[in-house]
A and B are shown apart, each in its own frame.
Chain A
Amino acid sequence: MIRRLRDSSLIPVSVVVAFIILIWYAGAVYLNSPVLIDRYERQKTEWNFEKLRQDAWAMERPILPAPHQILKDMNKSILQRKVTSKRSLVYHGWVTISSTLVGFGIGALLGIVLAVGIVYIPTLNRSVMPWIIASQTIPILAIAPMIIVGLGSIGLTGLFPKSIISAYLCFFPVTIGMVKGLRSPDPIHMDLMKTYCASDSHTFFKLRWPSSTPFLFASLKVSIAISLVGAIVGELPAGAQAGLGARLLTGSYYGQTIQIWSALICASILAAILVFLMIAIEKIVLKKMGGRLV
Chain B
Amino acid sequence: MNGNWIIILISLIPIFTSMKMVFKKNYKNNIKNSLFLSISVIFGIYILLYGVHNIGSDKAGLGLWMYLFALCVMIWEMLSSWSEIDTSLNSKLNFVINLVVPVLFGISLLFLWQVLTVGLKIPHILLPSPLKIGIAFSNSIPMLWEDFQQTFLKAVLSGYFMGCFSGFIIAIMVDRIPFLQKGLLPLGNLISALPIIGIAPIMVMWFGFDWQSKAAVVVIMTFFPMLVNTITGLSVTGQIEKDLLHSYAANYWQNLILLRIPVSLPFVFNALKINSTLALIGAIVAEFFGTPIVGMGFRISAEIGRLNVDIVWATILVAAVSGSMFYALITICERSLTSWHPSIREN
Q: Which residue of B lies closest to A61 (CB)?
A: B205
User: A149-161 CB contact bits vs B (8 Å, 1 = yes)?
Assistant: 1110110000000
Query: When the two chains form their complex, are residues B280 and A150 in contact, meaning their CB atoms are under 8 A apart?
Result: no
Chain B positions within 8 Å of A151 at CB level: 126
Complex formed: what's the CA distance from A270 to B194 in Å?
9
Chain B positions within 8 Å of A130 at CB level: 102
**Are A137 and B205 CB-contacts (below 8 A) given A127-B101, A145-B304, A271-B194?**
no
Chain A positions within 8 Å of B10 at CB level: none
Chain A positions within 8 Å of B101 at CB level: 123, 126-127
A290: interface (CB < 8 Å): no
Query: When the two chains form their complex, are residues B205 and A255 in contact, meaning their CB atoms are under 8 A apart?
Result: yes
Complex formed: what's the CA distance from A14 to B186 in Å?
11
Which candidate, B229-237, B259-267, B318-326, is the interface stretch facing chain A?
B318-326
Which candidate, A52-60, A186-194, A199-207, A259-267, is the interface stretch facing chain B?
A259-267
Q: Which of A13, A146, A252 contacts B312 (CB 8 A)?
A: A146
Complex formed: what's the CA distance from A136 to B290 in Å?
26
Chain B positions within 8 Å of A271 at CB level: 193-195
Query: When the two chains form their complex, are residues A252 and B323 in contact, meaning their CB atoms are under 8 A apart?
Result: no
**Are A122 and B84 CB-contacts (below 8 A) given A138-B319, A257-B205?**
yes
Interface size range on A against B? 35 or more
Query: When the two chains form their complex, are residues B284 and A142 in contact, meaning their CB atoms are under 8 A apart?
Result: yes
Chain A positions within 8 Å of B297 at CB level: 142
A2: interface (CB < 8 Å): no
Complex formed: what's the CA distance from A267 to B197 in Å?
11
Chain A positions within 8 Å of B206 at CB level: 31, 63
Complex formed: what's the CA distance from A63 to B76 in Å?
58
A233: interface (CB < 8 Å): yes
Q: Which residue of A lies closest to B84 (CB)?
A: A122
A228: interface (CB < 8 Å): yes
Complex formed: what's the CA distance from A130 to B104 in Å?
12
Chain B positions within 8 Å of A13 at CB level: 182-183, 186-187
Complex formed: what's the CA distance from A149 to B300 in Å?
11
**Are A261 and B281 CB-contacts (below 8 A) given A12-B183, A272-B190?**
no
Measured CB to CB, the residues of B under 8 A from A are: 76, 79-80, 82-84, 97-98, 101-102, 104-106, 109, 123, 125-127, 179-187, 190, 193-195, 197-199, 201-202, 204-206, 276-277, 280-281, 284-285, 288-290, 296-297, 300-301, 304, 309, 312, 316, 319-320, 323-324, 326-327
The 4 closest A-B pairs by CB, nearest first: A12-B183, A252-B201, A142-B284, A16-B183
A16-B187, A138-B316, A142-B316 known; 16 new pairs, CB 8 Å cut-off, are A122-B80, A123-B80, A126-B79, A126-B83, A127-B101, A128-B102, A131-B106, A139-B319, A143-B300, A143-B316, A153-B125, A229-B197, A248-B198, A260-B201, A261-B202, A271-B193
